[in-house]
Copies of this chain bind each other. A is one copy, B any other.
C-alpha cells in the first residue's frame, strides 16, 4: 500500500510538473535533454558559461542584450576547432608539396630547409625557424593562380591522412566545437574563423567542415597580383608575406577584415592571447574561452600550463593560464568538459 501511494504521488507530481511545464513553457527534463544543443559538453562551468552568456545577450529584457548585428564570435582554428598535433595540417601540406615538387628543384637535395624535409629529418624540422617556414611556404604556396591553388589543396585534402588517427584532416574536428558554432549561429551570431595559418587554405573547406563561408575566414595571407593569362584576368600568388594573423595580428586582422569587436572569442594558445584581450576590453557581457589539451588518451596533452608537456605547436603557457584566471577567461578541459571529441565518435 505504502509503495503504491508513493508511486501514485510520483506519477501525480510528475503529471503536475509536466502540465506546469507545458503551461509555463518550462521544458521537462526529457525534453531538455533531447533539445540540448551542446550534447558533447559535460555539465560543468564551461558549458554553463556558454549557455548563460548566450541567454544574457539574446534576451531582449536583459540589460546585457546585444542586437544580432553585433553578435560576432571569433574562433581560432588549429587546436581550437581541430587537431593541430603533431603539426598544423597546412604545415603537413607544405611538407608533402616539397616532396612533390622536388624533381623540379634538384638543388633542394643539398639546400636547407628543403634538404631536411626531403630526408624526413624530424630533428632538423623541429628546429625550423620562422624564416625556414616562410621559405617553404613561398616555394609551395606561390607561383600559381588562386584557382589553381584551390584545386591543389582540394586534391591534397582528399588523400592526406593524419599520421596517428589515419583519417582525413577535415574529419579531425572537435564535435563539441561544431555544436558550439551551430548553437551560436542558431542564436543569431556570425561565426568567424580567425586563424594564424593561411586563410586561402582554410577557405577551401571552412564551409563544408565548420559551416563557416569563405568570407568569414580571416587568416594569414601572401600577396597576390592581378594579371592576364591568355587574355583572361587571374590572381597570381606571390612568394611574399602580406599579413600575419597571429598574436597582435589577430585583433589587427579582426579590425581590418570585420571592423567590429567580437562579443565572444575562442582560442587555445599564446597566439590567441591578444584576440581574447581585445574581445574582453569591450563593454558589456563578453565570453572568452581557451581549450586546454589535457587528454593524451583521446587526443593530445600539451601545455606547459598545469604541468602538461611543453610544445612548440599551440603552446599554452602557465603565464597564459594566470592571465586567463585574472581576466575571467574560461579554460575548457578536453578531458573533463567534453564527453566526445570527434564526430566519428572517439
Say whether B274 contacts A251, CB under 8 Å: no
Say whether A255 contacts B224, CB under 8 Å: yes
Other than the given A203-B259, A215-B259, 13 more pairs (CB < 8 A) read A69-B207, A200-B259, A215-B258, A217-B259, A224-B252, A224-B256, A225-B248, A226-B248, A226-B274, A226-B278, A235-B251, A235-B252, A242-B256
Say whether A257 contacts B257, CB under 8 Å: yes
- Contact code string A256-284 (vs B, CB < 8 Å = 1, else 0): 11111000000000000010011001000
Instruction: Judge whether A170 is part of the interface by a CB distance below 8 angstroms.
Output: no
Say whether B255 contacts A235, CB under 8 Å: yes
A251: which of B226, B242, B248, B256 is its contact (CB, 8 Å)? B226
Q: How many copies of this kind of chain does the complex include?
A: 2
A226: which of B225, B233, B252, B258 is its contact (CB, 8 Å)? B252
Instruction: Judge whether A105 is part of the interface by a CB distance below 8 angstroms.
Output: no
Instruction: Judge whether A214 is part of the interface by a CB distance below 8 angstroms.
Output: yes
Q: How large is the interface on A (under 10, 10 to 19, 20 to 34, 35 or more residues)?
A: 20 to 34
Instruction: Judge whether A232 is part of the interface by a CB distance below 8 angstroms.
Output: yes
Q: Which residues from chain B contact A199 at a C-beta distance below 8 Å?
A: 259
Q: Which residues from chain B contact A168 at a C-beta distance below 8 Å?
A: none
Cα separation A257 to B254 with both chains bound (whole Å): 11
- Contact code string A29-63 (vs B, CB < 8 Å = 1, else 0): 00000000000000000000000000000000000
